[in-house]
């Protein structure tokens, strides 16, 4: 019998059209993996993983996100697939909105699966606002058709999940797992990645950003890069324990105090609608 859990998150794309400082998924760096060429999760690979885990976990909510999920050309198919495999889950889709025009009939999938689409506003700059304003009528038409579409402002309350940037990024040296976990903003964000379960995006996608910036030889990262996810070999008891566990040793890489700042986003060149 599948193990009942609260939440799980799955990337339809590691890639993102925005580049936000402090992205805990490292999607601001254009990360990718062998299983997701170009940073886009192939449908057949995703289907294999989701099918396998649908027999092991029963999440109350299932989040499809990224990166930017709308970059994935099979976006709509993934929504139907996830609901088919996890029929009792509450399906939520997170997007920065700008590329939703690539999926003009997404509302059909949202309505059919009773999914919620949450669009987060990621900037105040005139160029960003102008691009977002082009998308708003489409969102309005989906709402009028009966889809659950929510728009919220995510410009506040960002923080650095690591120190430095790019090839100079390093873990925090606080090394206080309990304190870091207590303030952690990602503790309810377990990931399904590389056909394994991970406690949070910071650890799930760390290997990808290490590949991108050649961080594997950096001593400060080594203990964290050695962390592995929970595979399908795990017993139900191990899966239940994984989700019940609070701080773990590798929480030591995270800050014990979140110094909040207003979001700094750089726009990509991608076409909006």
Instruction: Point out which span in 83-91, 134-142, 207-215, 249-257 binds ligand SF4 (CB under 6 A).
Output: 249-257
41 dihedral zone (left: phi>0; alpha: psi -120 to 50; beta): beta
Which residues pair with residue 8 across a beta bridge? 62
172 DSSP assignment = -
Q: Which SS3 state, helix, strand or coil, does residue 148 take?
A: strand
Binders of ligand SF4 among residues 67 to 86 (CB under 6 A) are: 67-68
**Taking CB under 6 A as the rule, which mask of x and - marks residues 28-47 in contact with ligand SF4?**
x-------------------
- CA dist 268 and 247 (Å) reads 36
In the block, tokens 């509302």 appear at 107
End-to-end CA distance of the chain: 44
Question: Please, which residue, 54 or 119, has the CB nearer to ligand SF4?
Answer: 119
Is 110:139 a contact under the CB 8 Å cutoff? no
CB 67 to ligand SF4: min, Å: 5
The nearest distance, CB 1 to ligand SF4, in angstroms, is 27
Q: Pick from 9, 27, 82, 191: which binds ligand SF4 (CB under 6 A)?
A: 27
Question: Judged by CB under 6 A, which of 3, 12, 199, 205 binds ligand SF4?
Answer: 199
Q: With binding defined as CB under 6 A, does residue 9 bind ligand SF4?
A: no
Q: CA 206 to CA 107: how far, in whole Å?
A: 33
- Three-class SS of residue 90? strand
Backbone angles phi, psi at 97, to 5 degrees: 90, -30
Q: Does 194 bind ligand SF4 (CB under 6 A)?
A: no
Question: Binding to ligand SF4 by residue 251, rule CB under 6 A?
Answer: yes
C-beta of 15: minimal distance to ligand SF4 in Å? 9
The rounded distance, in Å, linking the Cα atoms of 110 and 112 is: 6
**What character string, x for contact with ligand SF4 (CB under 6 A) and - otherwise, covers 152-191?**
----------------------------xx--x-xx----
From 36-44, 61-69, 106-114, 231-239, span contacting ligand SF4 (CB under 6 A): 61-69
Distance CA(95)–CA(188), nearest Å, equals: 18
CB of 249 closer than 8 Å to CB of 177: yes
- Identified binder of ligand SF4 from the candidate list 11, 25, 92, 193, rule CB under 6 A: 25
Residue with token string 């979001």: 263
Q: How far is the CB of 31 from ligand SF4 (least distance, A)?
A: 10
100 binds ligand SF4 (CB under 6 A): no
3-class SS of residue 243: helix
Which residues of this protein are in contact with ligand SF4, per CB under 6 A? 16, 18-20, 23, 25, 27-28, 66-68, 96, 122, 180-181, 184, 186-187, 199-200, 202-203, 250-251, 254
């Amino acid at each position: 019998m599948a193990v009942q859990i609260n939440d799980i998150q799955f990337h339809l794309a590691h890639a993102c059209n925005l580049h936000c400082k402090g992205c805990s998924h490292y999607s601001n760096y254009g990360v990718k993996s062998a299983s997701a060429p170009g940073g886009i999760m192939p449908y057949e690979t995703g289907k294999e993983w989701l099918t396998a885990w649908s027999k092991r976990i029963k999440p109350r909510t299932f989040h499809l996100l990224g990166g930017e999920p709308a970059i994935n050309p099979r976006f709509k198919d993934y929504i139907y697939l996830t609901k088919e495999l996890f029929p009792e889950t509450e399906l939520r889709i997170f997007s920065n909105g700008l590329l939703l025009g690539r999926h003009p009939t997404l509302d059909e999938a949202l309505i059919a699966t009773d999914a919620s689409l949450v669009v987060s506003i990621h900037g105040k700059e005139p160029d960003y606002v102008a691009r977002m304003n082009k998308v708003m009528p489409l969102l309005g038409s989906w709402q009028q058709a009966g889809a659950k579409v929510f728009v919220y402002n995510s410009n506040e309350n960002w923080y650095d999940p690591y120190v430095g940037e790019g090839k100079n990024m390093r873990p925090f040296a606080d090394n206080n797992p309990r304190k870091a976990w207590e303030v952690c903003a990602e503790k309810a964000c377990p990931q399904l990645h590389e056909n394994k379960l991970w406690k949070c995006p910071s650890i799930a996608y760390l290997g990808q950003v290490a590949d991108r910036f050649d961080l594997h030889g950096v001593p400060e990262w080594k203990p964290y890069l050695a962390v592995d996810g929970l595979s399908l070999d795990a017993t139900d008891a191990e899966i239940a324990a994984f989700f019940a566990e609070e701080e773990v040793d590798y929480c030591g890489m995270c800050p014990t105090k979140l110094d909040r700042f207003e979001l700094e986003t750089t726009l990509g060149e991608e076409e909006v609608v």
